[in-house]
Structure 1
Amino acid sequence: MSLFKDILAKLGLGHSDAPTTTTTTPASPSGTTTPTGAPPINPTGGVPPVTNTGAPGTGTPPLGTPPAGAPIDISAKLDGLAKQQGETLNWRTSIVDLLKVLGIDSSLEHRKELAVELGYPSDKLGDSAEVNQWLHKAVLQKISANGGTVPAELL
């Protein structure tokens, strides 16, 4: 997985790289089939109710999860994650803090790798302050381009 895709995944953006398969299993004596993961058809003909617990493997997102493709408020998401940290992190101005909030390695080596992945010239990686400023803006712009709602003043 690319470094940026890891960021998107932590924010709940992007698409799963997992292949999708369709298999069927017998659902009734009449020989009809139901896709794996679909609710079973009960003998009376109705589909039993499905509760939205968000349990792993159910294919059902937890309550409060935006529908697929819905914009995600990045400020709210990152502010919430920042509050869970044991230190004060200013993700709005610092790429190091942004990565820390997401639980991603914020080392200089990792930031340089991410910068190159996002299009920063590899021969200009010597000025870490310049790289950090560029990378912070580039990451927020790419998050916005991938469905995240980022405040205009941060772009």
Structure 2
Amino acid sequence: MSIFSRIKDAIFGSAKAQEASPASTAAPPAQGAAKAPAATGATAAPSAQAATSAAPMSQVDVEAVLTDLATKKGQKLDWRKSIVDLMKLLDLDSSLDARKELAKELNYTGDPSDSASMNIWLHKQVMTKLAASGGRVPDDLKD
């Protein structure tokens, strides 16, 4: 599995877990209520239910997920600016070798020996690619 895939899975998986927690307490009554109208209006209820359940999954609030993870982690990690801290927050290998591998995956054309420039580029690319993958990422994190 690629490093970017692990980053994406860690963030999007955390978002699904956050959605499941509040929903798990409300899910049994909602499911029971949804089954009753489905029996009388079988075509309307499933399509409405599918539309509402598909919408939250398509737009993961990346900033909220990462902020929540940082709060739970209890360490001071500057994930908003640092690819190293972002990877640490997600419990991923943040070594130079791992970052060089990520740079290769994302088609970095700069000098990998200039780790400062590479790290800045990597952070922006990761945020941009998370947005392209269905994440909601503030513009200031992509630029």
Normalising to structure 1: TM-score of the pair?
Answer: 0.63
Alignment of 1:22-41 (within 5 A): none
Query: Cα 1:101–1:64, aligned 2, differ >3 Å: closer, same or farther?
Result: same
| Superposed displacement of residue 85, structure 1 | 1.6
Stretches of structure 2 that go unaligned for 5 or more consecutive residues are 24-51
Task: Find the residue that maps to 2:73 and give its secondary structure.
Answer: coil
- Which of 85, 91, 100 is the aligned partner of 2:73? 85
Answering whether residue 106 of structure 2 is matched by residue 118 of structure 1, we say yes
For residues 86 and 62 of structure 1, the distance between their equivalents in structure 2, rounded to whole angstroms, comes to: 23
**Deviation of 1:84 (Å):** 1.6
Is the aligned partner of 1:142 residue 2:100? no
Structure-to-structure mapping, 1:3-152, within 5 angstroms: 3-12=3-12, 62-64=20-22, 67-68=53-54, 69-121=57-109, 124-152=111-139
Deviation at 1:63, TM superposition (A): 4.4
Alpha-carbon deviation of 1:62? 2.4
Taking the aligned partners of 1:79 and 1:135, their CA distance within structure 2 comes to 19
1:35-67 superposed Cα distances (whole Å, 9 cap, x missing partner): xxxxxxxxxxxxxxxxxxx8xxxxxx8244794
Give the CA RMSD over aligned residues. 2.2
Which aligned segments of 4 or more residues in structure 1 are displaced greater than 6 angstroms? none
What count of residue pairs does the alignment treat as equivalent? 108
Q: Which structure has greater helix proportion?
A: 2
- CA gap of 1:101–1:67, structure 2 versus 1, over 3 A, is farther
Paired position in structure 2 for 1:38: none
TM-score w.r.t. the length of structure 2 is: 0.68
Cα distance in 2 for partners of 1:137, 1:70 equals: 21
What amino acid is aligned across from residue 3 of structure 1 in structure 2?
I
Q: 2: distance between equivalents of 1:143 and 1:93? A: 15
